A and B are shown apart, each in its own frame.
Chain A
Amino acid sequence: MAIGVEGDSIVSFEEEWADLKAAAQERLQTGTRLAGVGTSPAPGRMPGAQNLGLDAAPVRRIANRTHTENSESGDSNKLADAEAAGRAHPGWECGPVSNDCVDAWQGRLRGLSSLVADAADGLNGAMDEQIGGDRSVADQLRSGAEWLENA
């Protein structure tokens, strides 16, 4: 289906969309990378037609699993018995010091749990934002194509 003219060639919507996607993907892949980072998805994992470089389903699954495991670990991280041991030996030098140590680590473990929960939430949020951005681009292109068709 011919929808527009580029120079002397007739360009179809599908061809133009493919060109735009390729150009965007190239821009995404030329950003700064850390050493040891793969620069492209593994072969066989092609991005979906609407998600540039993103296969959302596995990422959502792992984000949700991270949430689940993080929540489960919360209960076993309380160090309640360690707290009780220190309190049972107040006259020993190590009793109050153990209390301080346990207190510090209870805080640290809660903090780590929060960081992971936030990061897992962030994955879903970032994916939604990227997918939303891709849909917006696709919608704009379709609007343009429809205009051309009706021109």
Chain B
Amino acid sequence: MVSVPELKEAEPQKWRDAAEDALAAARRCGSMSALAEEEVAATLLQCWAGDTGEAARRRFVQHAEDFEAAKLVLKKLVRTYDDLADAVETAKADLVGGLSYADSHDLVVDDSGRVQLATPIMTAPGDDSHFGPLDHAAEAIGDALTKATEADRTATAALRLLGAMTDITDPALAREALRQDSPLAVALRLQNAGGGDHSINVSSSQLAAVEQAARETGVSKKLLLATLWQEQQWYQHIDGSPNGPASFFGRPFNWLLSQTIKPDKSLGITHIKPDTARTVMENHPDAFLDTENNRLSEMDDSQLAKYIEENPNEAIRLSAYHYSDLREQSEYGARTDKDLFLLYAADTPDVRELNEQYGDESEPRGGDIRTRGENWDRISPRLDDAMAWEHLTEAERLEAMEQLESQTPDGQYVYLEPIYGDGISMGTGTDTGTDRWEPEPTPSPSANPPPTPPEGD
């Protein structure tokens, strides 16, 4: 979420200047494309017969396409910057108006847009007349921040794609990639996701459990996947397998610890605490039954710990219900998926208060919460891309791979690895490209040897 200071200090004119800049670059690319095709290639066709002239003509036809593809992408960049400038300008004006109103009514506004009375006042029971200005200011400021955040997210998604399109040399493929949510666009974003983060190393059964739990509780699939990613970091990350040696020892170790040493030790694939799990089961007794319809909430601690460790799908369900409960208890500090993600680590009044104060900003936070917030920021787009890839059909994925391969230099790998799932795709580039052009040797007619003079007369 864009914060109050960020929107207040935003400079929409700079985004407009960026749009003008990109437009100039797009125009130059258009001019170079026209020159290469309509003048250079045409001149070569007219004036240079033979293999060498033909090779030269083909080269300039390719350059014309290179520049045309670049022009298409840069034009989209123009629209992206322009739309962003418009949205920011409007949102900023609304925010400034809201802040001015708040100031004139003795209200304070947090960075997150939360509005409060500057000084508490005594009122008669049922008298909420003084809340009118507060509600008005909160609504105006909240709307401004929402609009700005939406514009920020839209621009970010577009810019990530446009930045990934520098290798597209075919104008037709450029148009395809610019089509919203096209398989090629998803593949390009995946390809350019950058490395460094471990994948969510769970089985297809557990991924199915995530889908089921999301449907059952209304909690977002993305939030549950992010939780798996975050909470796996101890054993799956180390040995790369849910069934590897670290996991093999990790789970019984956790169970043992839960029995003897640390009753609050986090358990299972989602690192849920036994007390939290028990609370969830007690809040939803009919959702957690054994095969004989006995309530699992009646298990003792060691049985509960063992159950969680041995049933990762149930651990996922427990976490989903826990998230649902967090929001059910109070929306305060639990408004967004990121708020909930932070509360999963520590549901305390402090964390909720800071969620309210700072919104989705990670920078002002401290300690582990800040790290957790930054993790969310980093993997969130990767989860979005992986979910988009997952929703494509096999045929769409194959086509996107072929399109990527056609734009990748011959022999180079094309490798897409979503952050979860078995959708890893590999291929090899087929584009012979436009390497430095070496003129082909000119075929020369061999001169006949000098005629042999006739013998005698």
Contact = CB atoms under 8 A, between A and B. Distances in A.
A118 B62 CA distance: 14
Given A91-B363, A134-B444, A80 B439 contact: no
Given A53-B50, A62-B40, A81-B14, 10 more contacts: A16-B448, A25-B49, A37-B45, A58-B46, A65-B39, A89-B6, A92-B152, A98-B159, A125-B439, A127-B48
Given A94-B156, A101-B77, A122-B438, A24 B451 contact: no
A41 B49 contact: yes
Interface string A44-66: 01010000111110110011011
Interface stretch (B28-36, B300-308, B339-347): B28-36
Nearest to A3: B451
Interface in A13-30: 16, 20-21, 23-25, 27-29
Nearest to A62: B43
B28 A73 contact: yes
Interface of A: 3-6, 11, 16, 20-21, 23-25, 27-29, 31-34, 37-42, 45, 47, 52-56, 58-59, 62-63, 65-66, 69-70, 73, 76-77, 79-82, 84-86, 88-89, 91-94, 97-98, 100-101, 103-105, 107-109, 112, 115-116, 118-119, 122-123, 125-127, 129-130, 133-134, 136-137, 140-141, 144, 147-148, 151
A101 B159 contact: yes
Contacts of A33: 54
B451 A6 contact: yes
Given A24-B444, A91-B363, A79 B50 contact: no
B272 to A, nearest CB: 30
- Residue in A20, A89, A103 with the greatest tally of chain B CB atoms within 10 Å: A89
A4 B451 contact: yes
B21 A104 contact: no
B66 interface: yes
B334 to A, nearest CB: 22
A84 B17 contact: yes
Contacts of B31: 69, 73
Contacts of B60: 119
A108 B70 contact: yes
Nearest to A138: B447
Contact of A58 (B14, B43, B77, B444): B43
A69 B46 contact: no
